[in-house]
Amino acid sequence: VSPAHRLGATHPLALAPVISPPATVDGFVRQFLQNLNFDQGVALSDSSSTDQYLALAGTVRDYLMARWLDDQSRQRAQQSKGVCYLSAEYLLGRQLDNNLLASRLTDIATESLAKCGIDIDVLRQVEVEPGLGNGGLGRLAACFIDSLATMSVPSTGYGIRYEYGIFRQTFIDGQQVEQPDAWLALGSPWEFPHPEAAQQISFGGHTETYDDEDGVTRSRWIPAWHVQAVPYNYMVPGYHNGRVNTLRLWSAVASDAFDLRIFNSGDYEEAVRAQTFAENISKVLYPEDSTPQGKELRLQQQYFFVAASIGDFLDNVLPEGFDLSKLPDRVIFQLNDTHPVIAVPELMRVLVDERGIEWDAAWAITQQCFAYTCHTLLPEALEVWSVDLLGRLLPRHLEIIYRINDEFLLAVRERFGDDELRIRAMSIIGEHPYRSVRMAYLATVAGAKVNGVAELHSQLLREKVLPDFDEFFPGKFTNVTNGVTPRRFIRLANPDLASLITEALGAGWTVDLERLRGLEAFAADPEFRERFAAVKAHNKVRLASVLRERDGIEVGDGHMLDVMVKRLHEYKRQMLKVLHIVTQYEQVRSGEVAASDIIPRTFIFGAKAAPGYTMAKHIIHLVNAVGEVVNSDPVVEGRLKVLFPPNYNVTLAERVIPAADLSEQISLAGKEASGTGNMKFALNGALTIGTDDGANVEIRKLVGDDNFFLFGMSEPEVEALWAKGYQPTEYYQSDERLRRAMDLIASGAFSGGDRSVFEPIVSNLLYDDRFMVLADYSSYIEAQARVDEAYADQDTWSRSAILNIARSGFFSSDRSIRDYIERVWHTPPML
């Protein structure tokens, strides 16, 4: 009996499958006008661009709907294993073009709107991208759900529907000022709220013991307060495969029961305050990148979304009466960094306290249901929660964590003997500087697999960060090198390159990126190289017009585009780039180099600093200040330009990356876990100047040393220098170019003569320099000279650029997902 029959439906339409509108211009126009009139409530003649955009989005949704509904029931019905991707961040980027592309509607939509007198390009600009992530980690999650859908992996992405995403960055006098990102202000046409499917999430209170019917003493949680988690569903269409997966983001609202109790006590203001308190949980994305802040609200967010997601899976995805001992055959929860790791004790709590499963059996289930991806190596970035805070917010979970730890340490003792040092080192509970739960350790103990995000990172994770765990859990550690979706980052972002590739290789490369190998043969063809160069030149023109309109800034005509876009962090070493620029400028200013001898370059920066990260903000200020001086000093004859468009985001990335000639990936070796921007640039035919760090290592191996500008110390060399004792001043004293560049900054030349403005940067580099900027300076300057030399021969440069594309097919997120399936998830493909 079909579900419709079960309702007692008799009309043939009610019994038919959902019907998609006809995929024709007439069908599209009809649906669009219907949405404009009936959903937006306006006539075409009176409609604003926003109305039109919302109606267009609604129309694209309508075309995807039948498949989405179909896939949802299929995923519920099928008995095989699926992936629940748990991530606190999804940095999605704009949805319209992606969804048009996936559903093959781009041409029809363009023509249909033109017939209505509307330029679709204008509507594209209306969309505000959902910036529900900080940087690489959030963007990776977005690439992964695209690949999961494209590869028909039964899967759901779970996360948080932040009301405010990553802040909007503006500059005032060259300094970063943050503005709230009200991305929902104009309405959000891609989401489907389901308040009726809300999950109740509890917090606080205490635990108590009681004897169950069998006389066994058990613990239970008496929480103090609750909030409702309301799911908002987003379509995640696969590329040209008819699949539509779901991204489910949770939004917090006050629970009725809680309100009512307070209302009944007659305290109206308190009731409203309580509501605000509850809704704060999903109010704003934490803009900290790399160093977690340990704030209570953040732990609330983490628990809120994982408890809702696990509850949703158990209640709504599993069939009634499901035998939970079989849970590992049905689901793997992938933990995107430590942010969702509180899911581990939550699943234990549900299994033991709510479903009455005995501890050991529950633990055996739990250990097979989780896998953990680590995205960092910086020790200060490994998340810990104070026992105090965790115990206050989630007392039962703390008990569970203690028991997991006790049993784990017992097993460690059995294996390694009473080696107290080692036991202290491996304990999930840290003691210094305060008692805390080490979330990465908890994830490692609970996860069936633990992976790093590039070869080098995974190796260092095993050897340097968690060596005891590697020894204790043989086979648990693995690597899955990151990847990026070629749909968004080549096909959509670089349409001309995509056409050129398709012309050369046929259309299959968008879902089988290794086919780009076929371009190697074309790299030798002078005509193809010329056509590639024309595409690059055109992308520069497109970027120039975006920057002119967006920010009123001008890219230098005929310049090499040298781009460094990523979060601002000392380990990523934007300062090294600044020192290179200042060196070149100083050489012209002092007359050592004639301006006419400079290879014209425009340096483009894009970077947000965490609002509380003072040094990062100083560096942003310095970049802007250097730009202001260099760009207006006639001595450089316009041959050096420094541009820093504010508010770098996915939308801007899609314009900047295809236009770039040179990709700056210059972190201190051993610090950048992987990087994914590096992959996007290589795939768009930029050459990389980079250290042997993160996925740069793999990029260089694949593209070859002739097509990559390597510089700087290797990770072992970095270690050796630390061991020997690093003295940054030695480099300052012995390298004249470096000294002159630093002195120019210190002199106030970029701060109207005020020497105090950039003094914190200068003294930090001279007397601390944790990320060894000065040690790698000379090697970097020499590599940049090689870049200049190579760029002078445009034809050879194009050849290298094409080889970069041809040899980077490995970095598709489709390949990453295949690796996860093979090494971590072991999920069969969906029927």
Binding site for ligand F58 (CB under 6 A): 134-137, 140, 288-290, 292, 375-376, 381, 453, 482, 672-676, 694
Q: Least distance (Å) from ligand F58 to the CB of residue 658?
A: 20
CB closer to ligand F58, 87 vs 444: 87
Q: Least distance (Å) from ligand F58 to the CB of residue 293?
A: 8
Can you tell me the distance from the alpha carbon of 788 to that of 687, in angstroms, rounded to the nearest whole number? 12
Residue 415, C-beta contacts closer than 8 angstroms, at least 6 positions apart: 472
Can you tell me the distance from the alpha carbon of 441 to that of 428, in angstroms, rounded to the nearest whole number? 5
CB closer to ligand F58, 135 vs 189: 135
Please give the DSSP secondary-structure letter assigned to residue 667: P
Q: Least distance (Å) from ligand F58 to the CB of residue 673?
A: 4
CB closer to ligand F58, 132 vs 308: 132
DSSP state string for 535-586: HHHHHHHHHHHHHHHHH---PPTT-EEEEEES---GGGTHHHHHHHHHHHHH
CB closer to ligand F58, 155 vs 482: 482
Can you tell me the distance from the alpha carbon of 64 to that of 76, in angstroms, rounded to the nearest whole number? 19
3-state helix, strand, coil in the chain (%, to 5): 55, 15, 30
Helix spans in 447-525 (H): 455-460, 467-472, 486, 495-505, 519-523
Q: Least distance (Å) from ligand F58 to the CB of residue 394?
A: 20
Catalytic residue among 676, 688, 691, 827: 676
Q: Least distance (Å) from ligand F58 to the CB of residue 608?
A: 11
* Sequence-ordered strand ranges (E) for 627-666: 640-643, 662-665
Verify whether residue 567 is a known catalytic residue.
yes
Helix (H) or strand (E) segment spanning residue 349: helix 343-349
Which residue's entry shows tokens 């990029």?
A: 699
Q: Nearest Cα to 52, choosing from 105, 124, 140? A: 124
Can you tell me the distance from the alpha carbon of 573 to that of 601, in angstroms, rounded to the nearest whole number? 20
CB closer to ligand F58, 131 vs 556: 131
Q: Least distance (Å) from ligand F58 to the CB of residue 440?
A: 12
Q: Least distance (Å) from ligand F58 to the CB of residue 90?
A: 12
Q: How many residues in the chain? A: 831
For residue 275, how many C-alpha atoms fall within 13 Å in the half-sphere facing its CB?
11
CA 650 distance to own-chain centroid: 10
Q: Nearest Cα to 825, choosing from 81, 74, 77, 78? A: 81
- Judge whether 251 and 229 are in contact, CB under 8 Å: yes
Verify whether residue 676 is a known catalytic residue.
yes
SS3 state at 38: helix
CB closer to ligand F58, 362 vs 456: 456
Catalytic residue among 457, 491, 540, 567: 567
CB closer to ligand F58, 292 vs 345: 292
Can you tell me the distance from the alpha carbon of 14 to that of 92, in angstroms, rounded to the nearest whole number? 35
Catalytic residue among 339, 396, 572, 608: 572
Can you tell me the distance from the alpha carbon of 671 to that of 694, in angstroms, rounded to the nearest whole number? 8
Q: Residue 617 corresponds to which tokens in the numbers above?
A: 């903000």
Q: Least distance (Å) from ligand F58 to the CB of residue 572?
A: 8
CB closer to ligand F58, 292 vs 340: 292
Please give the DSSP secondary-structure letter assigned to residue 686: P
CB closer to ligand F58, 658 vs 694: 694
Cα-based distances in Å from 624 to 177, 544, 642, 748? 13, 19, 8, 14
Q: Nearest Cα to 606, choosing from 645, 575, 560? A: 645
Q: Which H, E and C letters describe 381-449, residue by residue?
A: HCCEEEHHHHHHHCHHHHHHHHHHHHHHHHHHHHHHCCCHHHHHHHCCEECCCCCEEEHHHHHHHHCCE
CB closer to ligand F58, 21 vs 340: 340
Catalytic residue among 375, 529, 580, 608: 375
Q: Least distance (Å) from ligand F58 to the CB of residue 108?
A: 35
Q: Least distance (Å) from ligand F58 to the CB of residue 236?
A: 19
Verify whether residue 540 is a known catalytic residue.
no
CB burial of residue 285 (10 Å; 0-12, 13-18, 19+): buried
Can you tell me the distance from the alpha carbon of 702 to that of 540, in angstroms, rounded to the nearest whole number? 26
Q: Least distance (Å) from ligand F58 to the CB of residue 163?
A: 18
Q: Least distance (Å) from ligand F58 to the CB of residue 169?
A: 16
Residue at shortest CB range from ligand F58? 136
Q: Is 724 left (phi over 0), alpha (psi -120 to 50) or beta?
A: alpha
- Judge whether 238 and 64 are in contact, CB under 8 Å: no
Q: Least distance (Å) from ligand F58 to the CB of residue 141?
A: 9
Please give the DSSP secondary-structure letter assigned to residue 830: P
CB closer to ligand F58, 47 vs 684: 684
Beta partners for residue 562, in sequence order: 603, 662
CB closer to ligand F58, 259 vs 288: 288
Can you tell me the distance from the alpha carbon of 84 to that of 76, in angstroms, rounded to the nearest whole number? 13
CB closer to ligand F58, 48 vs 614: 614
Catalytic residue among 449, 536, 680, 799: 680
CB burial of residue 34 (10 Å; 0-12, 13-18, 19+): middle
Give the residue numbers marked as catalytic. Answer: 375, 566-567, 572, 676, 680
